[in-house]
Structure 1
Amino acid sequence: MLKWLVRLMFVGLICAALGAAGLLGIYFYIKPQLPDVSSLKDVKLATPMRVYSRDGELISQYGEVRRIPLKMAEIPHQMVDAVLATEDARFYEHPGIDPIGILRAALAVAASGHASQGASTITQQVARNFFLSNEKTIVRKVKEIFLAWRIEQNLTKDEILELYLNKIPLGYRAYGVGAAAQVYFGKNVSELTLDEIAIIAGLPKAPSMLNPIRSPQRAFDRRNVVLGRMLETGKITQAQFDEFSKKPVVARYHGAELTLYAPYLGEMVRQKMVDLYGEDAYTMGLHVYTTVDSKRQKAARDALLKGLIDYDMRHGYRGTEKQLWQRGEKAWEYPQIVEYLAKQPSYNPLIPAVVTEVADRSAQVILKDGKQGELDWNAIKWARPFITDSRMGPAPRGARDVLKVGTQVWVRPEGERLMLGQIPDANAALVALNPFDGAVEGLVGGFSFELSKFNRVEQARRQIGSNIKPFLYATALEQGYTLASLINDAPINQWDPSSGKAWQPKNSPAVYEGPLPLRLGLAKSKNVMSVRLLRAIGIGTFVNGLERFGFPRNQIAPYEPLALGAAEFTPIEVVRGYAAFANGGRLVTPYFIGKVVDNTGNVLFENTPMVACALECGPSSATYAASASDAMQSDEAPAATQCASTQSATCAPQAISPESAFLIADTLKTAIWGGNGWRGTGWRAAAELKRHDIAGKTGTTNEARDLWFSGFTPDLVATAWIGFDNHQRSLGAGAFGANTAQPIWIDFMKVALQGLPERATPKPSSIISAQVDNNTGLLSYGGGGSSHSEYFKQGTEPTRYAAPVGGSDPFSGGSDGGGESISTDDLF
C-alpha cells in the first residue's frame, strides 16, 4: 500500500511539473502578444467634450461616450461594496485570478449544466475591457489570465478598481458609475440612494437587459440580488435590505444637465474643435470655455424671443397646429392625450397643449407634462386671423372664434398666466462683442436650434440697409470732410439707361431740408444725402473703406445703392464693423473660445487676441491720417502695431483714425438722443435705457425685408437683425428697424449694462470743439440758438466766420418727420 502511495505521489509530482512547464510554455508563447500593462498608469479614458460659458455654466456636451471620470475618493463606499459583493467579493485577497471563484463556477456548471456564475475577477475584466475583445475563445481567456496577473504586479488594488468603475459599460452609452448615475437618475454619484446604487452595481452583467429604463422588472430583480449579496457579505443590515428591496424602480433617461441655453454657440465650438483635433475631439475629455457671460447670453436669448413673439403677435394668428378629433367624434381620454403630447417636441418657451373645453372667453387645456391649465381672455384676444404679412382679420369676439375642442395648440408661460402662442414665421439674430478684443459676449442664431440649425449670426447674408451709413460717413471723414460739412438734402432724379427708368432714391419720410451738415444727415438718416456723399468721395473709395472695416470685398457691389445698404453682410460682420466706432477705430477679430483644458486640467489652448490699444498707442494721428487716406485709394491697411501699454499685447489694426471713430460715435449718440425739438431714429433707446453713453443706428431695407439695429457703449457693442429666411418675404407695412429690431437690442442692453456706470467715450487729444453756425457750418460770432458746438479733428475746423443771415435752423425742430416716422429710413 505504501509503495502504491509513493508511486501515486511521484506521478502527481510529474504531472504538476509538466503542468507548470506547460503553463510556462504557454506564457512564453503568448507573451509576445501581450500588451504593455504599464500603459494603464497613464490611461486616457474616452470622455465627451463639454462646452462652458466663461463663468462655468454648461452649454453643450458632445460625444458618443458618456463618462464622468472619478477618483476612488469620490466614489461612495456603498457603491464599492455593492460592486465587489456582486462582481468579485475576494477582490482584495486574490492576485488577479481567483482559484476559489473558478472552482465555484466550475461546480455550478457541473451541477446545473450551464454557466450560472462568472469566474472572471475585476482585474480580468479590466484586462478584457482595455486590451482584449469579448470573443469566447480559450486563447482570449488565457491572455486575460496572464494580463490580469501582470496588471496586479503593476497597479495597486485601488488603481485597478478605479479603472474598472470608470470604464465598465452600463447601458445607454454610459461608461462608468459616474455617468450611469447621471443617465439613469440625473444625480451625482454621491447623491445616490442605496437602492439606486444597487441598480447600477447590477448592470455590468447585462446592461442592455437589466437597465431600469428598458426593463424595470428585471432591474428590480437584479437590484435585490445585489442587495442580497451585500447582506451576505455584511455590508448592509437586514433592516436596510428589507427597506430598500421593496422600493419601486424609478428611472428615466437624463441627458447632460445643461445649465445655459446657447446651442448655436455650442455648434460653432464643436466645428472649431473638430477642425483642431479631428474626431478625437469627441473623446479627449476637452473642457472648452467660451467667452460668453451666462447673464448676457441669457439676456440675449430672452430679448430675441420676446422681440420675435411680439412681432408675431402683432401680425395675427395662423391657426391651431392640428385637429385631433372632430366635433361629434368621441373625445380623447386623458391618458390618450398625455401619451400624444409626450411625443410632441417643445420649443422653449412654447409648449404643446390640447384644448379640452372652450367657453365664451376662456379655454381649458392639457399640457405636455399632463397638467391642466386655462387660457383666459387676455391670453386669447390678440389672435386676430393672419391674412398677409400686412393684413389681419377682425378681432375675435370670443374664445370660440379662435379655438376648438380637440385641437393641438402652442402655449407659453408669461408670469402666472398661460398665453396662446405659435411658432414664429420670422426669425432673428443677436450678437454682442467686447469691442476691446472681439470676445463674443452673447450670441443667438435664431428662434430655435431644434427647428433650424441655420446660424443667422454667421451664415445669413442680408441687406444691411441704413446700418451701412456710419461706415460711409466715417470714410468721408477720413477723406477730409467734417461733421459740419454741408451736403444738399434735395431730391435725386437720375435716368438709368440699363433699367429704362429713373432712379429716384427718397427720404423716409419724404421730407427734404436743403443743405445740412453731416451730423444731421447721419442722425436723421437722410437717404439722398448719403447718395450725394457717396458721389462726392467716389464709389471706389467707399468700397475700400468698407473692406477696411472687415467687410468681404466680394460682397460689395460698386454701385450707388450701396450708399443705402444694398450690400449683403452677416450680423457678425456688422457688429465687428461697429466695434471700431466704440474702441477708437481698431478692427478687432470676433472670437468665442477663451481656452481649452483637457480632463486633467492642463491648458491646451488659450486665446490671445489682438486688442484695441489705448488712443496714444500705435501711429500718431498725423501719420495715421495720411496712411489711411492712401490705403483707401490703394486697398492697403496699416499693419497691426505692438502696444506697450497693454503688456505687449498685439494691437488690432486701425480701420479708421481714432479721431474719425470718436466723431462717428458722437454722431450716433445724436441719432439716439436727437436735438433741439427733434428725435433721432433710435430715440426708443434713450427713453428705455436713459443712458448718455449709448450710440446706435437703425436699418430698414426696401419693403422691410430686413430690419437692423446696431449700437454700442464704450464697453459693449451689439447687433440685432430680424427678417424672414425667405428673402422675398416682407415683414409688413409698419415694421421698421426702430420698432422691431431695436427693441431686441434694448431688452438685451437693459440686462447687459446692469451695474455698469455710464462711461464717456474716450476723446483723442487732437479733437477740438468750435462754435459753428447752424446753417453754414462756418465759425459763429456768438452763441444762442443759431449756432452750436461741434467737434473737429485739429486742423480741420472752419477758419472763416458766417455772415449773420436769416433762414430756417436745421438744428431746431424743423421738418424731420417727428418721432416715429423718422425711423423708416428705407433702402431706396
Structure 2
Amino acid sequence: MIKENATARLIHFLVGLFVACLALAVILALAVPIGFYGMAMYLSPTLPSTQEIKKAKLEMPLQIYSSDDKLIGQYGNRLSLPITFDEIPDNLTHAFLAAEDASFFQHSGISIKGLGRAVTEAVTDDDSQTGGSTITMQVAKNYFLSSERTLNRKLTELFLARKIEDELSKNDILTLYVNKIYLGEGAYGVRAAAKKYYSKSLDNLTIAETAMLAGLPKAPSKYNPVANPERALTRRNWIIGRMHELGYITEAERDEAVSSPIGIKLYKEKLDVNMPYLAEMTRATLVNRYGKQVMHSGWRVRLTIDSEAQTDAEAAVLKGLVAYDHRHGWRGAEANDEPLENFRRYSSMSPAKVTKVNSRSFEATMPSGESVTVNWSGMNWARKYISVNRIGYSPSNASQIVSENDIIRLIPTANGNWQLAQIPKIQSSLVSLNPSTGAVNALIGGFDFNHSKFNRALQGWRQPGSTIKPLVYTSALKKGYRPDTMVSDNPIQVGSWKPKNSDGRFLGDITLRRGLYLSRNLVSIRLLQAIGITDTLNLLDEFGLDKEKLPTTLSLALGAGQATPLQMATAYSTFANGGHRIQPYFIEQIYNYNNKLLFQANPQQACAECFNEKLEALNKKAVEDYESSIENSDNTAGNATSTDQQNVDVAENSDESINLSIYDASPQSDRLKAPPVQYELAKQAPRILEPRVAFDMADILRDVVQRGTAVRAKALGRSDIGGKTGTTNDAKDAWFAGFHPTNATVVWMGFDQPSTMGRREYGGVAALPVWMDFMRAQLKNTPRQWVPNEQGFTSRRLQKKAVETTDNDESNEPDTSEKPVTTQTQQRTPSTPEPELSPQTPRTTNRGNNDGVPQNPLSVTPVDSIPPIPE
C-alpha cells in the first residue's frame, strides 16, 4: 500500500513537471515571436528607408586636369565603380556566395545556420569559416550602419535585413553588396578591386582572382594579398575548394585555380604631368567650399592652366633660382657618407653620391644606380659661399668643391650633360593671367612643392616696392595729368624725412613719363602728395590690392605696404586690357565621373563685345563637335547598360550645393573626355580706368622696357610689352610686373624670412630674367599687339625722345616709415599730341562706365580741379 502511494505520488509529480515544462515551452514559444515583434515595433521608427540606398554615395578620386586635358593631380584613395547585376560575372557571384553566404538565394535575410557558424568561429578561432552575417545583413550594415559592436546595432541590422528582403529583389541586394563592400587598398566594390589589385576589368578575372577578391570582405587588411600574401593565398584556396563543393566549378578548374600564383598587379593612376601647387590649390578651394567629401566625389576638374605654359614657368623659375645661387657661391655638400635613398628629388635636382674625384671632373652615382660624370664646365661656377655679399676665389680643382661620398645635387643641361647644383635657400613665385578674362595661365608657388608647400603666389604677402608706382601714377592720370606733365625731381623734405633716389642724383624738372620709367622716388612721392593718399588707396583697392595691407603715409609711393604676386598680376592686367578690372580664376569646368558638365566658368571679360561677336560661330561648332562625339560614342559603346541615377551631394550644408550624378555604369574611360560646351553670353568686366588713362600708362610702361629700368627686356625683340621693376629696401624683395595685351605676368624673388638678397640683386637682375624666359616662350608665335587707346583704336607713338637711361633698378630706396605730409604748388606743360592711328588695326568699340554707357573718350578733368604737384 505504501509502495502504491509512493508510485502514484511519483507519477503525479512527473505529470505535473511535464505539464509545467510544456507550459514553459509554450510560454517561451509565444514569448520569442512576441518579443521579436515588440522589438521590431520599437526599432521600426528608427530604421532608414531602403529607398535611401538609391542615393547612397559612391566614391571615386577627385581628378584635376590642365586646360589641355593632362592629368596633373589626383586626390582620394577611395574608389567605387558601380556595376549592374548583368555585369557581375557568374564566377564572381559564385565566389562570394561560397565565401560569405551559400544560402543567399534561399534565406529571407537572416540565416540561423550562419549565426551558429559565427558563434563557432568565435569559440574556435577558425579562420577558414564563413562569417555569421548574410549578404543582406552586410548590405544593411554597409549602407546604413556603423561597424560598432553593440547589441542594439546588431538587432537593428537583423530587422533592417528583413526589411531589405521585403522591399528589394535578391538581384538588387547582390548588386548593392558587390558595389559597396570594402575590399582593401581603398577599393569599394568588386569593379574597383579588380582594377586596384589586378588592373583588369571584371570579365577578365580568372577563377583564382575572383576567389581572392571574395576572401577580402571578412577582413580586408588581414587577408590583403599585398600585405599578407600567405594568409590571403590560404583563404583564396579554401574559397576555391568551397566553390567546387557547391558545384560551381569542376575539379579540373579547382586544381588549376589552386595552383595559380597570386598574380597581383597593382593599379595606380599615373599623372601625365605632376603639378602639385596647382593641384593642391584646386583641392583646397573645393574642400573649403564643398567639404572633404569632394575628394571622393569622382569630379574631374579642368583648370585654365595650360600644361606647357606651366612647364615653361617652372623652368624659368628654376633657372632664375639656379642663376642666383651661381652668383652667390657654393654652400657645400648636403651630407657625407649617408645612404642616398634618404634624399629625395626636388624639381629637376636629383640627389647623387660622389664616388670618385678627378682633377677637373668627378663621378657620382644616381638613385637609379647609374654612374654619371660631371665635367669642369658643370661645376666651375662653385666659388665658395662666405656671405650673401661675399664669395671666395674661383676653384681650380674639383677636390676644392666636392669629396668622395658627398651627397650633392645634379641637374641635367641642355646638351645632355650634368651640372652641379644645390637646393636654393631663396624662393621665387610667378603668376600669369589672361588680362581679358582673369584666367590663370600659369602659377608657381615656390621652388618645389615637396620642399615647401607654402604657395607664395597666393599667400606670400611682401612689399611690392616700385611695382606699385604705376598704380600711384595712374591715380594722377585719372585726375587729368598727362605723361608729359612736368614734375620736380629735386630734393624734398617731409618733416624730418629726407627721401632720395636710388642713384643719389636729382634730375630737376622731368616729365611724369620719364619719372616713372626711370623709377624716380622723389617724383612718386610728390605725385602722391599732390593727388592725395585717400583717393590713391581707393584706386589701389579697385586694382585688387588690400587697403588694410597698405600704409596711409607717403611711404605708399615707394611700395611700403604688402601685396601678393596674384594681386599685382590682377592690377597690371588692367593696363593690358584697356582699363577693366578682371577677377582671377583658375577652375574652368567641373565634370562628374561620366563627363557630365556640372560647372562652367563664365568670367566677366574686358572685351565682352568682341567675344560675343564670335559667340554664334563658337556655339555652332560646339554643337557640331558634340553631336559628332555622341555619334562616335554610340558606335563604340554597343549595348552598354546603365544604372539608375544616383545623386551625391557634397555640399549638404551649402546654399551653393552641386549634386553629382552617376548615371552611366559603363564609362568608356577613367580619364576626362568632356564634350564641347556652349558658352553663355559674356558679361563686361567693370571699367575702373578711362581708356585714355589705361593707354597712357601702358605706353609709359613700354618705355620702362625700351629705355628704363627694364631695358634688358629689349632682348625679347618686342615693342608691345611693358612692365615695372621693383626692389625693396636692402634688396629683400625683387619684382618684375609686366604685361603683353594677351598676358600679364608677375615674378617675385626673395627669402621667406625677409633678409637681404645681396648687393645689386635688383628687380631687373633677379626677377626680370625669369619673366623674360617665361614670356619668350609664351609670345613665341604671337604677333605684335597694342593696348586700346582713348579713341578705341590700337595705336603707337611715332616719335621717341632720346633721354637718359639706366640699367640700375630703384634699389636702396629710402626709409619708408611713417612721416608727416606737406603740400606744395603745381607746374604743368601743354599736353602731348594724340598718337597716330595704326592703319593695320580695325576700329572697335570700348565701353565707358560700369553701366555700359559710353563716355566721351576725349573728356579730361578741368585744369582748375587738378591738385598741385609739390616742388
TM category, shorter: 0.7 to 0.9
Aligned partner letter, 1:451: H
Task: State the one-letter code of the partner of 2:379.
Answer: I
In the alignment, what sits opposite 2:423? 423
Q: Given the alignment of the two structures, is residue 740 of structure 1 paired with residue 766 of structure 2, yes or no?
A: yes
Question: How far has the Cα of 1:430 moved from its partner?
Answer: 1.0
Does 1:26 pair with 2:36? yes
- For 2:502, the aligned partner's letter is K
- TM-superposed CA distance for 1:243, in Å, is 8.5
| Compared CA separation, residues 772 and 575, structure 1 to 2 (3 A) | closer
Q: 1:236 to 1:390 in 2, by over 3 A?
A: farther
Equivalent residue in structure 1 for 2:81, among 51, 69, 84: 69
Match of 2:364 in 1: 365
1:470 aligns with 2:470: yes
Aligned partners of 1:108 and 1:409: how far apart in 2?
61
Deviations for 1:591-615, whole angstroms, at most 9, x for unmatched residues? Answer: 3334555667776655444332458
Conserved 8 A contact 2:550-2:561: yes
- TM-superposition CA deviations, 1:743-771 (whole Å, max 9, x none): 22233334444554443323342679898
Summarize the Cα distance change of 1:136–1:649 in structure 2 as closer, same or farther, 3 Å threshold: closer
Provide the C-alpha distance between the structure 2 equivalents of 1:306 and 1:764, rounded to a whole number of angstroms. 39
2:807 matched residue in structure 1: none
1:762 aligns with one of 763, 788, 798: 788
Partner residue of 1:714? 741
- In the TM superposition, residue 238 of structure 1 has moved relative to its aligned partner by 5.1
Do 1:85 and 1:229's aligned partners in 2 also have CA atoms closer than 8 Å? no
Distance 2:482 2:206 in 1: 74
Aligned to 1:577: 571
Provide the residue aligned with 1:39 in structure 2: 52
User: For residues 790-805 of structure 1, what are the structure 2 equivalents within 5 Å?
Assistant: 794=858
Aligned to 2:551: 557
User: Quick one: structure 1 residues 133 and 506, their matched pair in 2 at CA, closer, same or farther if it must change by over 3 Å?
Assistant: closer
User: Could you tell me which residue of structure 2 aligns to residue 503 of structure 1?
Assistant: 499
How far is the alpha carbon of 1:403 from its aligned partner? 1.8
1:134/1:686 CA distance change after superposition, 3 Å: same
CA gap of 1:148–1:523, structure 2 versus 1, over 3 A, is: same
C-alpha contact 1:320 1:407 (8 A) present in aligned 2: yes
Q: Deviations over 1:330-373 (max 9, x none)?
A: xxxxxxx4xxx444443232333333333333333333344444
- 1:654 paired to 2:687: yes
- 3-state DSSP of counterpart to 2:767: helix
2:455 paired residue number: 455
Contact 2:702–2:721, Cα closer than 8 Å, also in 1: yes
Q: Is the 8 A contact 1:67 1:166 kept in 2?
A: no
Question: Is 1:214 the counterpart of 2:208 in the alignment?
Answer: no
Q: Which amino acid aligns with 1:390?
A: N
Residue pair 2:115, 2:133 contacting (<8 A) in 1 also: no
Q: Secondary structure at the match of 1:722?
A: strand
CA distance in 2, matches of 1:613, 1:770: 23
C-alpha deviation, 1:466, in angstroms: 2.2
Task: Specify the alignment match of 2:726 in structure 1.
Answer: 699
Pairing of 1:394-405 with structure 2 (within 5 A)? 394-405=393-404
Residue 576 of structure 1, CA deviation: 1.0
Q: Distance in 2 between matches of 1:749 and 1:190?
A: 51
In 2 relative to 1, CA 181–303 (structure 1 residues): closer, same or farther, beyond 3 Å?
farther
Asked whether the equivalents of residues 105 and 170 of structure 2 are also in contact (C-alpha less than 8 Å), the reply is no
Q: Contact between 1:46 and 1:285, CA under 8 Å: does it hold in 2? A: yes
Deviation of 1:141 after TM superposition, in Å, equals: 5.5
Q: Distance in 1 between matches of 2:395 and 2:206?
A: 54
- Contact kept? 1:82, 1:226, Cα under 8 Å: no
Alpha carbons of 1:376 and 1:178: their partners in 2 closer, same or farther (altered >3 Å)?
farther
Letter in 2 for 1:471: L
Specify the alignment match of 1:681 in structure 2: 709
Q: What are the superposed Cα offsets for residues 682-718 of structure 1, whole Å, 9 maximum, x if unpaired?
A: 3444423x44432222222233211111122222211
Cα distance in 1, alignment partners of residues 248 and 364 from structure 2: 54
Structure 2 CA distance for partners of 1:30 and 1:116, relative to 1, 3 Å: farther
Residue pair 2:578, 2:695 contacting (<8 A) in 1 also:
yes
Distance 1:241 1:385, change over 3 A: farther
Q: Which runs of 5+ in 1 are unaligned?
A: 1-10, 326-336, 618-645, 784-791, 800-828
Deviations 1:42-85 (A, max 9, x none): 2123555444444544444445x612333348978488358536
> How far has the Cα of 1:270 moved from its partner?
3.8
Q: 1:667 is matched by which residue type in structure 2?
A: I
Following superposition, the deviation at residue 250 of structure 1 comes to 5.6
Write the mapping of 1:295-314 to structure 2, written as runs, cut at 5 A. Answer: 295-314=308-327
Q: Is the 8 A contact 1:430 1:445 kept in 2?
A: yes
Question: Which amino acid is 1:29 matched to?
Answer: M
1:128 aligns with 2:141: yes
Unaligned stretches of 5+ residues in structure 2? 1-20, 612-678, 803-828, 837-855, 864-871
Counterparts of 1:106 and 1:770, CA distance in 2 = 90
| Alpha-carbon distance in 2 for matches of 1:37, 1:237 | 41
What code does the residue aligned with 1:581 have? F
What's 2:445 paired with?
Answer: 445
Name the Cα RMSD after superposition: 4.5
**Structure 1 residues 475-484 or 91-100, which shifts more?**
91-100
Q: Which moved more, 1:550-559 or 1:22-31?
A: 22-31
Seen in structure 2, the aligned counterparts of structure 1 residues 236 and 705 have a Cα distance that, compared at 3 Å, is farther
Deviation for aligned residue 1:719: 0.8
Residues 274/468 of structure 1: CA separation in 2 closer, same or farther (3 Å cut): same
CA contact (8 A) 2:64 2:300 kept: yes
User: 1:281-300 to 2 correspondence within 5 Å?
Assistant: 281-282=294-295, 284-300=297-313
Q: Secondary structure at the match of 1:462?
A: coil
Alpha-carbon deviations, 1:516-563, whole Å to 9, x = none? 433333334344433444344344443343233222223332444433
In 1, Cα distance between equivalents of 2:293 and 2:704: 50
Distance in 2 of aligned mates of 1:574 and 1:649: 25
Whole-angstrom distance in 2 between the partners of 1:769 and 1:136? 79
Work out the percentage of aligned pairs sharing the same amino acid: 37
Shift of 1:313: 2.9
Residues 140-289 of structure 1 correspond to what in structure 2 (within 5 A)?
Answer: 143-157=156-170, 159-177=172-190, 180=193, 199-225=212-238, 242=256, 245=259, 247=261, 257-282=270-295, 284-289=297-302
Distance in 2 between the 1:583 and 1:192 partners?
58
Q: TM-score, normalised by structure 2?
A: 0.71
Worse-matched range after superposition: 711-720 or 219-228: 219-228
Spell out the pairing of 1:84-95 with structure 2 (5 A cutoff).
84=96, 87-88=99-100, 90=102, 93-94=105-106
Q: Which amino acid aligns with 1:84?
A: F
Task: State the AA in 1 paired with 2:692.
Answer: E
Please state how far the C-alpha of 1:428 moved relative to its aligned partner: 1.0
In the TM superposition, residue 425 of structure 1 has moved relative to its aligned partner by: 0.5
Does 2:580 correspond to 1:568? no
Conserved 8 A contact 2:528-2:557:
yes
The 3 A distance-change label for structure 1 pair 772 and 42 is closer
- Give runs of aligned pairs for residues 485-524 of structure 1, distance below 5 A: 485-488=485-488, 490=489, 492-495=490-493, 497-498=495-496, 502-507=498-503, 514-524=508-518
SS in 1 for 2:551: coil
1:748 to 1:141, Cα distance in 2 relative to 1, 3 A: same
SS in 1 for 2:141: helix
**In structure 1, C-alpha distance between the alignment counterparts of 2:487 and 2:423, rounded to whole Å:** 46
Q: Could you tell me which amino acid in structure 2 is paired with residue 204 of structure 1?
A: P
Deviation at 1:574, TM superposition (A): 0.7
Q: Tell me: CA distance 1:395–1:225, structure 2 relative to 1, closer, same or farther (3 Å).
A: farther
Q: Of 716, 724, 736, which residue of structure 1 is paired with 2:751? A: 724
Q: Is the 8 A contact 1:611 1:652 kept in 2?
A: yes
Aligned to 2:230, the other structure's residue is in SS state helix
CA deviation map 1:757-794 (0-9, x unaligned): 443323342679898895987779xx9xxxxxxxx974
SS of match in other structure, 1:208 = coil
Contact 2:240 2:257 in 1 (8 A): no
Matches of 2:357 and 2:94, distance apart in 1: 55
1:389 deviation in Å? 1.6
Determine the structure 2 residue equivalent to 1:391. Answer: 390
